[in-house]
Amino acid sequence: MSGADVDPMLHEARARLSRADKVIAISAGKGGVGKSFITASMAAALAERGRRVGVLDLDVHGPTVPKILGARGEITAWKGGLRPLRSGNIELMSVGFMIGEEPLPSAGGEKMSLISTLAALTDWGHLEYLLIDVPPGTGEEITWLLRALRGLEGAGVLVVTTPSLLAESVVRRLLKLLRDERVDVLGIVENLSYFRCGGKLIRPFGEGAAERLSREFAVPVLARLPIDPSIEEAILSGNFYRSLSEEVRSAISGLVESVETLNPAGR
Amino acid sequence: MHEWSLAEAVVNSLLSFARKEGVSSFREVELTFGEVMELNRDIFRTAFEELSRGTPLEGARLVIREEPALFRCNSCGHTWDFDEAHKMLSHELGILEEPSGDRESPLHFLPDLARALLKCPSCGSRDFELVSGKNLRVSRVVISE
């Protein structure tokens, strides 16, 4: 027979993902809604709760999780593969550590092959939670994710949206795809939901999008996060999670608590 | 040292295939590696043999073929080989190998990073193809009847 039926890298990627108790992919379909921020914050909150947590940054064109977490350094390789970089108590793997500030244009099939190889070679050790920051788009990245997570016990997707009608429309397509492919959706997170001004709560992008999606797809809204200047300041501070405002941290903490209840580690 | 993880990936995927298809024993496995991966065949062979012990892969003849790398620029049409590409790799970006302490280019582990790590030596464009010699594939297996 030919070897076309065997894809060693995708197979190994699935095997290595399955070593984590729980795999949670954070996805939106749309760019700029705050997936990487939510991924990094959730990882920090889980680590603060004493969980062994890793983050796989699949955003190969714009890897930002290392920047958010203030992680710098060089990846090491050993017999077991590539060791993730440890940032605080978080294990982090990102091509950002390998390409510096260089751009990475890619074409037909390359992205799928790159993320398969990255996931296949990363040696996480034992994790309770592996969070995957999924890049925008419903092309190769999502196709890879569907193949990697299909039938994987303890795996689910958290979908991020904003109240904007444009985000809602893109997220609806993503939710349809996930439903059609029978992927477990843990819930919806509404980011950039509101801000406070002079004691008033202002919703600049309107409201109701998360509820409409929640009703339509029968998935819960797990958190609403404000627009908050403390987020940018926290990223620059070098002590990201601790520097977030109380309001943001409380929302993230509530989100992590819901995820832990819905999808507890240690199966 | 990524030869061990690559061998693990190949062995596990073939054993999964064997379980699915009811294959009790392999006679031959032929693998094709891209030149860009700079595979150490001896280490890979040792790893493959060790990981195959006690499985349907034990004793299978392992054939390793290397596919030469060829790059082609979509902007100016220039073509170049891996030796020329190797000279252009930055020493600032690397992966540290344990226990040797050697620093290798990330390209060696993740060939799909080529467009971040290289440019066309003739015109400087990143719009080029790695036409051949990139990844690993199982090109052929022969199973025992």
A37-53 pLDDT, tens digit per residue, is 999 999 999 999 999 99
**Alpha carbon of A156: minimum distance to chain B alpha carbons (Å):** 24
pLDDT recorded at residue A138: 75
For the stretch B8-52, pLDDT in tens is 999 999 999 999 999 999 999 999 999 999 999 999 999 999 999
- Distance set, CA A102 to CA A30, A129, B115 (Å): 23, 30, 9
What would the two tokens of residue A157 be? 């997707």
Pair B78, B118 in one domain: yes
Pair B6, B62 in one domain: yes
pLDDT recorded at residue A30: 81
From chain B, pick out residues whose CB is under 8 angstroms from the CB of A113: 112, 134-135
Pair B137, B125 in one domain: no
Q: Is residue A213 part of a domain?
A: yes
Cβ(B69)–Cβ(B85) below 8 Å: yes
CB pairs under 8 A between A and B: 125
Residue A71 DSSP symbol: -
Residue contact B110–A114, C-beta within 8 A: yes
pLDDT recorded at residue A267: 44
Is A74 a residue whose pLDDT tops 80? yes
Pair B6, B63 in one domain: yes
Maximum CA extent, chain B: 54
Supply the range of the domain harboring residue B49.
2-67+133-143
CB contact B14 to A (< 8 Å): yes
The pLDDT-based confidence of A3 (bands split at 50, 70, 90) is low
Q: Is residue A262 part of a domain?
A: no
Pair B52, B75 in one domain: no
Cα–Cα dist A177/A193, whole Å: 24
Pair B8, B42 in one domain: yes
Pair B55, B28 in one domain: yes
**Alpha carbon of A92: minimum distance to chain B alpha carbons (Å):** 15
Report the number of distinct structural domains present in chain B.
Answer: 2
Pair B92, B46 in one domain: no
For the stretch A97-132, pLDDT in tens is 999 999 998 877 888 999 999 999 999 999 999 999
Cα–Cα dist B135/A114, whole Å: 10
Mark which residues 100-139 of A lie under 8 Å from B by CB: 100, 102-107, 110-111, 113-114, 117-118, 120-121, 123
Q: Is residue A48 part of a domain?
A: yes
Supply the range of the domain harboring residue A16.
3-257
Angle between helices B2-21 and A8-17 (to 10 degrees): 100
- Measure the CA angle with vertex A259, ends A254 and A262; round to 5°: 125
Pair B23, B60 in one domain: yes
pLDDT > 70 in chain A, percent:
96
Please compute the mean of the pLDDT values over residues A197-207 and round it to a whole number.
86
Pair B32, B78 in one domain: no
Nearest to A159 by CA among A258, A30, A267: A30
Is A9 a residue whose pLDDT tops 50? yes
Cis peptide before A204 (omega within 30 of 0): no
From chain A, pick out residues whose CB is under 8 angstroms from the CB of B16: 11
Please give the residue that has the higher pLDDT: either A1 or A245.
A245
Report the number of distinct structural domains present in chain A.
Answer: 1
Q: Look up the ipTM and state it.
A: 0.93
Is A204 a residue whose pLDDT tops 50? yes
Is A260 a residue whose pLDDT tops 70? yes
CATH number at residue B29: 3.30.2320.50
Pair B60, B13 in one domain: yes
CB contact A18 to B (< 8 Å): no
Angle between helices A165-180 and A140-149 (to 10 degrees): 40
Pair B110, B89 in one domain: yes
The pLDDT-based confidence of A92 (bands split at 50, 70, 90) is very high
pLDDT recorded at residue A44: 96
What single-letter amino acid sits at B83? D
CATH number at residue A145: 3.40.50.300
Maximum CA extent, chain A: 71
Please compute the mean of the pLDDT values over residues A199-224 and round it to a whole number.
91
Instruction: Classify each residue of A154-167 as buried b or exposed e, where b means 16 or more C-beta atoms within 10 Å of its C-beta.
Output: bbbbbbbbbbbeeb
Please compute the mean of the pLDDT values over residues B92-100 and round it to a whole number.
88
